[in-house]
Amino acid sequence: MIIAPSILAADFANLQQATEMLNRSQADWIHVDIMDGVFVPNISFGLPVCTAIHRHAQKPLDVHLMIVKPENYVQAFKDAGAALISVHYEACPHLHRTLQQIKQAGCQSGIALNPHTPVHLLEDSLAEGHVDLVCLMSVNPGFGGQKFIERTYQKVRQLKALITKHQVKTLIEIDGGVSTQNAAKLKEAGADVLVAGSFVFGAKDPENVIQQLKNL
């Protein structure tokens, strides 16, 4: 299981400290949530903050773009340190082209899906084989600390079946409301990557919580 703590839940006045804690921990990636106040009803932070996190990070940055027109910012986020860039299916009328742009920039490509979007809409993108990751939102994007949507398990199983059918290596990432309450069940359903924000940063001992998720 790949663990990607979301720095959205960290103390923004101490991002260097948060990044160094993740470096020491068993986290595999650092999940970076970019919100524009248009695609989602909240604004997080943008390129300079991503660059600043990258300056201290010893782990790959998994950048989740919750923005409209993400195609205009692919190169900029690559330059800001992104190893993987996920764009929302719902924000991309030319998803095929945007995924190619991400690969051409030298990043791993991801598609994020809102809770209401069925996974079968990804069949053509998956079959093409240029999707490295699908990020299934298990809350409505925009805020940390929300309740996990139970229907996600079913979506994980459906997505896993599509991935197996097309014999591709796409990873399944779950984002929102992840904790030790649902992590084992998500793993069993076929999840490969778990994002956790408030569960990690709200804990007394975040490194220990990361270890718990890692050793499911």
Interacting residue ranges for ligand DX5, rule: CB under 6 A: 6, 8-9, 31, 33, 64, 139, 141-146, 175-178, 195-199
Work out which of 28, 33, 173, 192 binds Zn ion, going by CB under 5 A: 33
197 binds, among Zn ion, ligand DX5, none (CB under 5 to 8 A by kind): ligand DX5
Tokens 């524009």 belong to residue: 36
Nearer to ligand DX5, 45 or 166 (CB): 45
Residue 207 contacts residue 16 (beta carbons within 8 Å): no
Instruction: With contacts defined by CB under 5 A, name the span among 33-41, 50-58, 90-98, 183-191 that binds Zn ion.
Output: 33-41
Which listed residue (28, 36, 175, 192) is catalytic? 175
Touching Zn ion, residues 148-177 (CB under 5 A): 175
We find the least distance from the C-beta atom of residue 131 to ligand DX5, in angstroms, to be 18
Catalytic (active site) residue 62: no
- Give the phi and the psi of residue 25 in degrees, each rounded to 5: -80, 180
In this structure, what token pair is assigned to residue 92? 């991309």
Q: Is 37 left (phi over 0), alpha (psi -120 to 50) or beta?
A: left
Nearer to ligand DX5, 8 or 209 (CB): 8
Beta strands 61-66; 30-35: pairing state: parallel
The sheet that has 171-175: what strands, in order across it? 2-5, 193-196, 171-175, 133-137, 108-113, 82-88, 61-66, 30-35
Give the interface with Zn ion as residue ranges (CB under 5 A).
33, 64, 175
